[in-house]
Structure 1
Amino acid sequence: MKNTVSGTDFMAVGYEQNKILGTAIEIANMHFEALPVKEKIELFQKVVENPAHFLADAVIAPLASQLIESAKMPQDETIALREEIQDYAVYGADQIVAGARDQMDVAMRLPVTVGGALMPDAHQGYGLPIGGVLATKNAIMPYGVGVDIGCRMALSIYDVPETYFEQNRAKYQRELIAHTKFGAGRGFHGQYKSGHEVMDRNTFDLTPLMKKLKDKAWSQLGSSGGGNHFVEFGIIEFSERDEVLNINKGRYVALLTHSGSRGFGATIAGHYTQLAKQKTKLPKEAVNLAYLDMNTQEGQEYWIAMNLAGDYASACHEVIHEKLTRAIGGVVLAKVENHHNFAWKEIWNGEEVIVHRKGATPAGKGVMGIIPGSMTAPGFLVRGKGTENAINSASHGAGRLMSRTQAIKSITKSEMRQQLKDHNVTLIGAGKDEAPMAYKDIHQVMASQKNLVDIVAQFTPKIVRMADDGSRED
């Protein structure tokens, strides 16, 4: 309608984005429909500046009363951080940049924090550093989980000998290209869409946001994101028989994948991060560590949404592994999967806490995990030792040595090609920001966490596929 005003119009003259704004718009457009927009804005500016003058006006009085009551209410106060930084364990301190330490120091001053640890692959992120582990009391932190909720590793070990793989390398490369899709916003449509029980969950109907995201999640089921996400074939070597996995000493073909909850998880993360920032006012240096109380509706909503995003990420890996297993005709001897960028309810130091692992691998006693290196460096199948000081965690990879911008500027294409050639690795996609030289030495990282995990087997990449458009969702 010609004379309709918007929230933007009223916010420009002093209204805040809250319920009062809604009341003002409703009254303006319902009772002052004939008034020109300019005059309407001028009138309601007078109301917000001096609401007491309008208490006798039968139409405007409800708005005036709300404004007066709002002015009487105490304004949201910034939540103070603790003066002292709580002690926390640091692994591989000489490999961790000051920015990551500074971020962890701030996290350890939050009033809800009860423990923390920094893994040897740690580097600076948003809010909690990547490689940071934070235990909180009854509080969930969206940026402590990360943008790519439930990002994870998944490994399938096949009954295929290394010699067969080398003889049929072209076939493995062809199938890898045919059955994977990468990049921000990329997905499948029509008859190419996959099915999975996770898409039938009624939790998708929990909130309007999740309901709205369901179609997008379905189209991206079985695809991979950008950045450091990958699907790769390689050779895994067991130096001795592993009784738990029931695998003999030897070298086997294996499929390793790394990706998360795609646009579904990223949108949930963004929505609840903004909500947390509105609900939990923290000082400037801690603003990205905003959290939600687990006793609130918002905290419970995020917890349920986060868990669904984690299950969805797992389903994406399952679809990829099933497609490629059928394509190569292998028999799966064992599967191992673990996630990072998540939060768990765990008992630590005798109390229930929320453990955020942002780019950190669960490493409770006997828990299996995969810690990758880079596109040319080996990854490791590990078993956790359950180290309390590390809050039962380990690194989630080698960790970045260079920022993406720094890598693009300082690494040449010829250097990257030579690295791939030296290690007999076929690369499909990826830019210089993911070059092997952009990552820390995985052997140093593993040496720094020998008290956290035991190495079960070593994985060597052979054919690696990553996003080729520079897109990122991690």
Structure 2
Amino acid sequence: MQTQINGFELMELGFPQGAVIGIALKINRGRHGLNRVQMMASYAAVLAHPENYIENNIFSKLALALIEKANERPEDFITLNPTPHAFSAYGLEQIEEGARDQMRVAMQLPVTVAGALMPDAHQGYGLPIGGVLATRNAIIPYGVGVDIGCRMALSIYDIPEAFYNEHHDKFKRELVTHTKFGAGHGFQGQYKSEHAVLESADFQTNALTKSLKDKAWSQLGSSGGGNHFVEFGIIEFEKEDTVLNIPKGNYVALLTHSGSRGFGATVAGHYTKLAKEVCKLPEIARNLAYLDMNSSLGQEYWIAMNLAGDYASACHEIIHAKMQKALGATVLAKVENHHNFAWKETWNGEEVIVHRKGATPAGKGVMGIIPGSMTAPGFLVRGKGEENAINSASHGAGRQMSRTKAIKSITKNEMQSILNHHGVTLIGAGLDEAPMAYKDIHQVMAAQEDLVDVVAKFTPKMVRMADDGSRED
């Protein structure tokens, strides 16, 4: 197997950072019959004289990108704010420098009003995951994220903990029967679900949303891949919660985490591309390209984003309805909250667009669910409405290890050992979702005591995830 060429080697040759290197690496993956030495020589030649390769079958796209890059002038780009406001941060000592750097860049956008970084934050594309950004009359597709409207949903049953222990096999059977995971996976024919969201007029907004309706229908009620899950656990109320009307005690509960599947991912990719075309930002901020809310593109994306959020909610509703019927249970309370979304809110007396990319809404009295990992507890919380945090909190524990690093450094035996230790039954998942790939949820919660109050603790007992672990549409 030949050693692949990486971006650092191309930068050493003199290639500019950014999209050009991405184009070059895509060509390299095909290799086109050239060995490593020949590819590096070709790259050097294209870099030196791109005009000679405009008609070349292999390198024409790269040559045109290099020419376009060379012709760029500083005045062609939107100017970033050299003296931005500082952003608020919680648990900063636990947050990697890459995420901090991304937040600093986001604060320099001319449309930025305020920003905050949650304690589960880690590096992403454009806005860091765990980043909250308030903008003036502008929407950032990558500030929302790829999995639009991804959310947590919790159903608390009138089932005591002892019943779960006695009927473990039944819970496993129903979990496997009524869930579906993995990239591209959906339901066909008589197994498709129906939901009012499919009748939304917003699907008819434009050719893109129209074309995605059939895919959305087939994937309705499924959970995709990545870190998405459906799990049974025990939720513990140390005292009665009068708002939810649940007495003190332990109850079986169902917790789900997933988003808008292929529909949302396609919408995100489409409008991010368009945003980059109309909003020319310097390379360092390119993934933060935004759309004016008064523009037709801005309104198109806003409608599609909200539709994707409604669709994601419908997927959870179907899963929870199937499971309630299968168990014959009464639901004592349901809580749902979403992230990877943008809201119109008032901040400091001004209407702003609040992007929460991997961050939970935590306005005064707003309920939320903050999961840990497949072996660490999650928490049912109530927001305190902290304005410095832009009424937000973390959306989970947050990764402390990249997927690639987790796969390389964690063994199956190590993962199984920790599952056994915590008495967790796992169906599916890859090593990239191993518990040790995540931050300590207790440290994360300690860092946001000013943002949320803990109402109850959820302990996972049976977790189902995609078999391939990391894939998503």
| Shorter-chain TM-score range | 0.7 to 0.9
Q: 1:180-195 maps to which residues of 2 (within 5 A)? A: 180-195=179-194
Say if 2:243 is the partner of 1:210. no
Cα distance in 1 between the residues matched to 2:428 and 2:260 = 21
Question: Sequence identity, in percent?
Answer: 76
Say if 2:362 is the partner of 1:367. no
Is the contact between residue 136 and residue 354 of structure 1 (CA under 8 Å) also seen in structure 2? Answer: yes
Aligned counterpart, 1:400: 399
Unmatched tracts of structure 2, length 5 or more: 1-72
> Which letter does structure 1 place at the counterpart of 2:256?
T
Say if 2:275 is the partner of 1:276. yes
Aligned counterpart, 2:419: 420
Aligned counterpart, 1:58: none
Cα distance in 1 between the residues matched to 2:167 and 2:297 = 52
The secondary structure found in structure 2 opposite 1:103 is helix
List per-residue Cα deviations over 1:304-342 (Å, max 9, x = no partner): 000000000000000000001111111000000000000
> Which letter does structure 1 place at the counterpart of 2:297?
E
Q: 1:20-99 maps to which residues of 2 (within 5 A)? A: 77-99=76-98
> Which letter does structure 1 place at the counterpart of 2:414?
E
Cα distance in 2 between the residues matched to 1:361 and 1:203 = 25
The secondary structure found in structure 1 opposite 2:76 is coil
Q: RMSD of the TM alignment (CA)?
A: 1.1
Aligned counterpart, 1:331: 330
Cα distance in 2 between the residues matched to 1:130 and 1:449 = 16
How far residue 472 of structure 1 moved from its aligned partner, in angstroms, is 2.5
Q: 1:9-408 maps to which residues of 2 (within 5 A)? A: 77-408=76-407
CA distance change for structure 1 residues 86 and 75 in 2, over 3 Å: closer, same or farther? closer
The secondary structure found in structure 1 opposite 2:381 is strand
How far residue 77 of structure 1 moved from its aligned partner, in angstroms, is 2.0
How far residue 76 of structure 1 moved from its aligned partner, in angstroms, is 8.1
Cα distance in 1 between the residues matched to 2:330 and 2:302 = 36
Is the contact between residue 158 and residue 333 of structure 1 (CA under 8 Å) also seen in structure 2? Answer: yes
Cα distance in 1 between the residues matched to 2:342 and 2:445 = 23
> Which letter does structure 2 place at the counterpart of 1:237?
E
Cα distance in 2 between the residues matched to 1:224 and 1:408 = 22
Is the contact between residue 237 and residue 458 of structure 1 (CA under 8 Å) also seen in structure 2? Answer: yes
Cα distance in 1 between the residues matched to 2:188 and 2:234 = 33
Is the contact between residue 76 and residue 281 of structure 1 (CA under 8 Å) also seen in structure 2? Answer: no
Is the contact between residue 230 and residue 464 of structure 1 (CA under 8 Å) also seen in structure 2? Answer: yes
Unmatched tracts of structure 1, length 5 or more: 1-73
Higher CA-based Rg: 1
How far residue 471 of structure 1 moved from its aligned partner, in angstroms, is 4.2
Is the contact between residue 428 and residue 469 of structure 2 (CA under 8 Å) also seen in structure 1? Answer: no
The secondary structure found in structure 2 opposite 1:317 is helix
How far residue 75 of structure 1 moved from its aligned partner, in angstroms, is 11
The secondary structure found in structure 2 opposite 1:232 is strand
Is the contact between residue 337 and residue 367 of structure 2 (CA under 8 Å) also seen in structure 1? Answer: yes
CA distance change for structure 1 residues 446 and 75 in 2, over 3 Å: closer, same or farther? closer
- Structure 1 length normalisation: TM-score? 0.84
How far residue 408 of structure 1 moved from its aligned partner, in angstroms, is 0.5
Aligned counterpart, 1:450: 449
Runs of 4+ in 1 over 3 A off after TM superposition: none
Cα distance in 1 between the residues matched to 2:281 and 2:410 = 39
> Which letter does structure 2 place at the counterpart of 1:379?
G
Comparing 84-93 with 224-233, greater Cα deviation is found at 84-93
How far residue 469 of structure 1 moved from its aligned partner, in angstroms, is 1.8
CA distance change for structure 1 residues 150 and 76 in 2, over 3 Å: closer, same or farther? farther
Cα distance in 2 between the residues matched to 1:413 and 1:377 = 18
CA distance change for structure 1 residues 304 and 76 in 2, over 3 Å: closer, same or farther? farther
How far residue 406 of structure 1 moved from its aligned partner, in angstroms, is 0.3
Is the contact between residue 148 and residue 473 of structure 1 (CA under 8 Å) also seen in structure 2? Answer: no
> Which letter does structure 2 place at the counterpart of 1:404?
R
Aligned counterpart, 2:410: 411
The secondary structure found in structure 2 opposite 1:409 is helix
The count of residues paired between Structure 1 and Structure 2 equals 401
